[in-house]
Amino acid sequence: MTDFTICPGFMAAGVAAQINKKGVIDLGLIYSEKDASVAGVFTKSLVQAAPVILDKKRVKSGKCRAIIVNSGNANCCTGEDGMAHAVAMTEFIASSLDLPEEKVLLASTGVIGEPFPINRVETAVPGLIEALSPHGFENFARSIMTTDTVKKLIFRHKEINGKKITVTGVAKGAGMIRPDMATMLCFICTDAGIAPDLLHTLLLSATEKSFNKITIDGDTSTNDTVIIMANNDSRVTIENKTEINIFQQLLNDLLLALAKMLVKDGEGVTKFVEVIVKGAENNHDAGKIADTIANSNLVKTAFFGEDANWGRIIAAAGRAGAQVNQDLIDIYFNDVMMVKNGMGCGKDVEALATKVLKKSEFVLTLDLNIKSGFASVFTCDFSVDYVKINANYRT
């Protein structure tokens, strides 16, 4: 048990409600002791879970007091009953904590299309409320894990105008991860004071620089949710340009750290790879090429096989829908130049590149040598275990 409050003015908890596997912590709650500004970013998929649909309406108020979450059941494609159960989850918390129902948000993760076990949630809520504690974020982090093998919980401190603020982030995600907002669940709490509209702007920017730069398997979820709450417990208000810049960088760093943790804990992952594309016509082109390479099944299986098969990489770059000139492309594994001007550098160099691929982490760089466009994406390999995990996900 930690001996400090992870985020002043907030409490959290996680309990076992028998929604996921028996005995596993699968129901969580974050509670702000005072009104908090709130902002959210959600999946762009046109198939959306009931919690996403409800949250998108409620975050428009700009105020929130609590978030209830569960793992084991996505409450997606569950019809009118699913929406009624989503509302009921928030009613249980609102009634127990004497809160307006519209100030309670929720999120779910797990199997799509299964009836939601609302009775198990209702039974577990009294224990969840009783378990609320300033030190409860670790159990909350466990409550949202599905195929995750480790919890993702980070906190940061920063002084602004001589006063300390805290930002705490909790995330989950190991499969069905591809950037299209933020393909997972993430909850951020801060004791800074930030107006809702500004908070939304800051969250969008930080998400673009973090969760929208990762991919595990190229699949976008139906339940993608990132929510941030700011309750001003520190009495440090983020208003002027200097304060905004400091907080933005703090949030960027926190979310990027969480994003990297998600990729490293991806289903069956053995390699963590940063794909850098530079020298593109513009940043947009660089992003398209980096994303295409990072999501290529052939490239990802080559990573797993520790095979410096650069032909797969240059082929992916060529089909990305961005400007390339194959006679100008250089390819590096870390600092080993594998390709120069679109041609391989020989077997001796390939042997050096293979040594790089045997590492658990490395950087793949494509220099297009056109202009100055730049982008990077964090990806991973495809392993045999990934196939096994997803072949048996519901059994």
Locus of tokens 């304060």: 243
Among 183, 190, 365, 379, the active-site one is 183
Owner of token pair 């670790």: 138
- Let me know: does 334 contact 362? Beta carbons within 8 Å: yes
Is the CB of residue 87 less than 8 Å from the CB of residue 108?
no
Cβ atoms of 365 and 332 within 8 Å: the answer is yes
Q: Which helix (H) or strand (E) holds 243?
A: helix 241-264
Which one, of 129, 182, 132, lies nearest residue 152 by Cα? 182
* CB contact at 8 A, 110 and 20: yes
149 tagged catalytic: no
Nearest to 133 by CA among 259, 2, 21, 322: 2
3-state secondary structure at position 395: coil
> Where do the DSSP E strands lie in the chain?
10-15, 27-42, 63-73, 104-111, 152-160, 163-172, 185-190, 225-230, 272-280, 330-333, 336-340, 343-344, 361-367, 373-380
Residues 136 and 95 sit within 8 Å (Cβ to Cβ): no
- Return the CA Rg of the chain: 22
DSSP secondary structure, 160-219, as one string: ETTEEEEEEEEEE-SSS---SS-SSEEEEEESSB--HHHHHHHHHHHHHTTGGGB-SSS-
Instruction: Work out the angle at residue 3's Cα, subtended by the Cα atoms of residues 210 and 259, and round it to the nearest 5 degrees.
Output: 10
Distance of alpha carbon 93 from alpha carbon 75, whole angstroms = 18
Give the pair of three-digit tokens for residue 2.
Answer: 């930690």
Q: Give the active site residues.
A: 183
